[in-house]
């Protein structure tokens, strides 16, 4: 087995995940809610736990193996990956060529199939500018 030098290992590393505007808005909201609880000294609050869970998923779990086939969606969403963390879902795309990850969506509520806010409906409905 060939050992890789630190330089070659670094070349294989994924870039820090980027967040779309939609994902960034949810992330900031979760961070603010957690921050308010921490300021009050309530470190065990579920909002703090939730933010830590989402942050850990984005900064550690997804970059560890972003192209995990078990996270891949199917059909028309085959280029999108999903990580379920508790009741939340994080949807993202990843490019092995560019070593880049983009978080598309962080769900704020429980998923209800068929709901307008269901991420799978959001990703599959045709956009007007695509026609």
pLDDT digits (tens, 9 = 90+) for 102-117: 999 898 766 566 666 6
85: exposed, middle or buried (Cβ count in 10 Å: 0-12, 13-18, 19+): middle
Whole-number percent of the chain with pLDDT over 70: 72
DSSP string, 25-70: HHHHHHHHHHHHHHHTT-TT-HHHHHHHHHHHIIIIIHHHSTT-GG
Q: How confident is the model at residue 92 (pLDDT cuts 50, 70, 90)?
A: very high
Enter the pTM of the model.
Answer: 0.77
Fold designation for 16-123: YaeB-like fold (3.30.2310)
Residue 38, pLDDT > 60, answer yes
The pLDDT value recorded for residue 6 is 47
């Amino acid at each position: 087995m060939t050992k890789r030098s630190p330089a070659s290992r670094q070349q294989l590393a994924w870039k820090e995940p980027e967040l779309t505007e939609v994902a960034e808005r949810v992330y900031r909201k979760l961070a603010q809610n957690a921050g308010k609880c921490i300021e009050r000294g309530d470190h065990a609050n579920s909002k703090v736990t939730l933010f830590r869970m989402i942050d850990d998923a984005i900064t550690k779990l997804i970059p560890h193996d972003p192209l995990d086939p078990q996270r891949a969606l199917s059909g028309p969403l085959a280029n999108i990956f999903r990580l379920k963390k508790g009741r939340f879902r994080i949807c993202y795309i990843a490019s092995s060529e560019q070593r880049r990850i983009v978080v598309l969506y962080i769900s704020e509520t429980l998923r209800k199939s068929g709901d307008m806010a269901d991420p799978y409906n959001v990703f599959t409905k045709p956009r007007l500018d695509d026609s």
